[in-house]
Chains A and B, each alone.
Chain A
């Protein structure tokens, strides 16, 4: 390790770092703006100037930018040098010439990096007498607010948006002190990662527009570590609450998962927590045809005592959007034989497939960090930009791996971002995208392939065969597909860290098997390939590990065995199956009990509805697509009669006289019981410290030490300050009192360090800046590959897709904004969701003699939907895409064959 001397003191640093990275990692305070740990150095802002001395004899030294200077062994620098300090203060003074000094009314105030750096450099007095330059701000859509006058021209925004995230509709315009960062004209930012501008911007140019609509000061937010519930990736988040409303979501760094960035669905999908459709009291229907009425918890439980008296007449339907503990509690209540996972049979089979492959095959599962570091990627059957957006961002970074190799040959350090990008302008790692349609990730692909799911699977089988002659052969391949398979196989074989990405969104078991074959063929012959499967929901893998039957099995059970009572946990069944089937099912069951946080269609038909907390008002464990179990914590106490769903279920278990939940006092007890239930879940106990965990005898406060108005918060109701809610489930407290330092990573409720009030305080919590959190990145991987397992290939590639006469294969098209149940309830997300449509190849549309956007009837079985059609040139013939999960369109299980009729001819 090189040793550098800073202000007369020797420090060991990591080889290859720049001086800024090294100094910050050492815990030294050196101000900066343009540098970002995930974006590297460009030397624009000149804020991190230090004095560099050539040798021990050199007493004059020269200013250098720490971010642009390698920390070589023997480097001698001074941060405290007078000239360096003066220069750094000057840089702030320059930035402040035009800055509006509107901190009191700025949304960034209190967590502003510019504020912190200004204080750090000691610039105090304003000496500039000129006018300030001003800009016209733009309407950038529902997510991001624009206030350009605050800009200090650090270029982080444009570097993130264009270079890191691949956006095209945002840029830097003009020059001198009038550089404008925005769009060519007003309009919603197109990138699905636009919300990161809010965190990337070191001041208040880009702020959270949804927070603005119900603004509160940052230091008044109550926060807790959480996990995003809007897809299967499990990005770590920090939700913030004030006055019983969730106000915003911020990124929570997890080096193995989301790193520094979230997608806009994850960041802005939270408003369902504040929805008017929230259930806040138990509801009870006394007799058929009666309305649901609010009752007390005691009344509801009394009613349920009768319904649940005969255990053999009760079944439970769990949910992939509920925690492991909640699902486990339901399974405990009804018994494992009468527990159903709550997803259709088709999806259930896909999940089982994924789990079998990840647990019994030799290819280990990939974290997002593994994907970012991959030097070759094959994506089979997933439009990641819509099904798992943060994973698409990771694949985009994987495309840069080859440029790092080139830079190393040229002697350019990896952190020298502009130089690396300049040297490697036409160099990308091999990224192959085999999908149904063109995707927003195509610009980083070295080859794309569009086909129906069966043909995508055949390509995968063919790649595996090219890699390993013992893999099953694929009959009737065209020369073009065989050549492409050969090219993909060659690139994957030549890679040191190849990753195969696939998932459940195409609804094709063959695609999932094909991806496994490719990874396994690689594992047999060469580098350990990793496998990354996307799954639909935040706990899809978790319920898969728990076991149970599918929703269709539950429907079958009601039909065949006639259990009288159905308990539905956090699940709107109308999103799972067609309305007729679900209605018939709910009618066949004599008593339907729903535990959920929203009054949805299923809940509206229930006899008893118990109000549960959302992710923000409860805690539990979710298992992401990687098989990583992660804990989310209660951010705020929901009040009213809202309880964690596991608590309702515990009470029901007790009500029916079972002893199984006798010792379930806190979540830890449920987690422990769940961990004991099956060996694969044993790691659950290690996911987060138990409720009894204390540091110096203290709990971890959810409220920052600057939390204001504590005694006045509820004064309009009562001047007597109420006792804060107890939290018996976690080491966190609903209080500003407690341990003031930094807790272990799974418990970090916010980033803060003395003098660092912005998200950049994260630097102080990492082993080195940009590196893992001190104490390890949160989460425990439950799913591990069988490294030494012999490869048993899936054989029988499906036959080539054959379009049918008069019928179309209807496949789901996922929408980042719209397809997911909860996020689309956020007005901001809803605004970005598309209208319903049916996409098909223009030639297919022509065959139906459809005019542009003409309405069609899509007929699947007994169900029909009337939607405009959309001609999409890159779709395979005979395939039509129907938006998945849009409000009003959910419930159709895809893919399936259907008929399409011109409306005017019906």
Chain B
């Protein structure tokens, strides 16, 4: 885990062992940041320090966290109750960084949520957890129980006069539930169709009330920012972006895993130093740097820093910061078929380009793998990546699904053509 640099998020995580209980967490300085925020700072102070820290959302979109909080109506006229929701529905293929935090240090998340809830003056908080994260569910439930018993949750949190109810909600298990507004509908017991924006959740959210939705990793950063300051946090990053980031790698590398590293660590460092490089005999052909819904990058991009701006300049996205690696013995068409099968299957069925378009993409890719692909299919696929662009669909699922496909078509065109020409998958 990690380099010599500071690792605030994972410092107290002990892989393979039970997480710190409340007492253990407090011995490491836990809940001091919450105490400080709730008793010595105004909600505006908290938001200000988070804004100043440059913290950007770690769920994939990278929206500035402090700015998101500032949209929440404050004061006596604000609609009540207000809600904070932790998006722990980590279901993107290849992404498992929140799991580390959820299973490894649940109190860190709870403390972050207490502070965030205070900043936006939320009355109720929910942790919306991926259905399959059973271990995390067990550990979170235990931690919540402890926190309630100690007065860190419920009425008069930490003796501050601030009240906060916090609930753990296990998702019913669909990818779309991780979409911010689909999540809110799911939490309300409705179909997890995303909502139209505007209005945005900070104004009209859960049950129509102001709601802040933040990712697990984002919230886990908050206690450290409050206790150590915005400048400290900014200095953690190597480039334009502040803080550390939990990067991950899956694919045929020597040591797949997740590591907390300074924001802006290069792809090469993560791949070669942390993951130990490609497995013996395999060569890197490309990678999806930020999870399944980001554009491919190539070996020539290895020295790109993994931060928001640099990856965008290279033609992809930071996304969740967890990369999927493609080697030279794996069929890129097969990989894309696998990905698009996932996205097509997880379409909520609301907007036509997504429910119909992704299904068609999946069928074309399946046909190529089966040897029934036709030359015109390449143009069909390319057209779909254009037609499923942002703004064309109701939410970001289909545009996300189009990203690896559009870059895959560009970088691995010869592989697609061989499938059509040879009427089979040449890798099999």
Contacts and interface: CB of A to CB of B under 8 A. Distances in A.
Interface stretch (B55-63, B234-242, B344-352): B344-352
Given A42-B196, A130-B363, A412-B204, A94 B394 contact: no
Given A95-B356, A412-B204, A427-B208, 13 more contacts: A44-B352, A64-B391, A128-B360, A130-B360, A152-B352, A153-B350, A153-B352, A155-B350, A175-B176, A175-B346, A176-B355, A179-B355, A410-B204
Contacts of B317: none
Interface stretch (A22-30, A418-426, A601-609, A664-672): A418-426
A44 B351 contact: yes
Interface in A135-194: 152-153, 155, 172, 174-179
Interface in B345-383: 345-353, 355-360, 363, 367, 372, 376, 380, 383
A31 B310 CA distance: 41
A64 B390 CA distance: 10
Interface string B164-204: 00000000001010000000000010010001101100011
B204 A49 contact: no
Given A43-B196, A46-B394, A175 B349 contact: yes
A174 B199 contact: no
Contacts of A153: 349-350, 352, 355
Contact of A174 (B207, B349, B356, B391): B349
A175 B359 CA distance: 12
Contacts of A425: 188, 207-208
Contact of A127 (B174, B208, B349, B380): B380
A46 B353 contact: yes
Interface of A: 42-47, 49, 62-64, 68, 86-87, 90-91, 94-95, 97-98, 127-130, 152-153, 155, 172, 174-179, 410-412, 416, 418-419, 422-427
Contacts of B376: 127
A426 B207 contact: yes
Contacts of A130: 360, 363, 367
Contact of B208 (A64, A94, A424): A424
Given A153-B355, A179-B355, A419-B195, A97 B360 contact: yes
B392 interface: yes
Interface string B324-348: 0000000000000000000011111
Interface in B388-411: 391-394
29 contacts: A43-B394, A46-B352, A46-B393, A46-B394, A49-B392, A63-B391, A91-B352, A91-B353, A94-B360, A95-B356, A97-B356, A127-B380, A128-B363, A153-B352, A153-B355, A155-B350, A175-B346, A176-B348, A176-B355, A176-B358, A178-B349, A410-B199, A412-B198, A422-B195, A422-B199, A422-B204, A423-B199, A423-B208, A425-B188
Nearest to B207: A425
Contact of A177 (B199, B349, B383, B387): B349
A416 B356 CA distance: 24
Q: Which of B203, B348, B355 has the most CB of A within 10 A?
A: B355
Nearest to A421: B208
A619 to B, nearest CB: 45
A419 B392 contact: no
A172 B355 CA distance: 14
B366 to A, nearest CB: 8
A42 B196 CA distance: 7
A86 B207 CA distance: 38
Contacts of A42: 196
Given A43-B394, A177-B355, A172 B191 contact: yes
Contacts of A44: 350-352, 394
Q: Which of A46, A68, A127, A176 has the most CB of B within 10 A?
A: A176
Contacts of B353: 46, 90-91, 94
Given A98-B356, A426-B208, A176 B198 contact: no
Given A43-B196, A46-B351, A426-B208, A176 B394 contact: no
Contacts of B360: 94, 97, 128, 130
A469 B355 CA distance: 62
A90 B387 contact: yes
Contact of B392 (A63, A97, A128, A416): A63
Nearest to B343: A176
A656 B271 CA distance: 108
A391 to B, nearest CB: 29
A467 B352 CA distance: 53
A49 B391 CA distance: 10
Given A94-B360, A128-B360, A418-B196, A45 B345 contact: no
Q: Which of B207, B208, B393 has the most CB of A within 10 A?
A: B208
Given A128-B360, A177-B359, A422-B204, A43 B351 contact: yes
A86 B389 CA distance: 13
Nearest to A130: B363
A62 B204 CA distance: 26
Contact of B359 (A127, A176, A418, A423): A176
B352 A176 contact: no
A412 B195 contact: no
Nearest to B347: A176
Q: Which of B188, B350, B367 has the most CB of A within 10 A?
A: B350
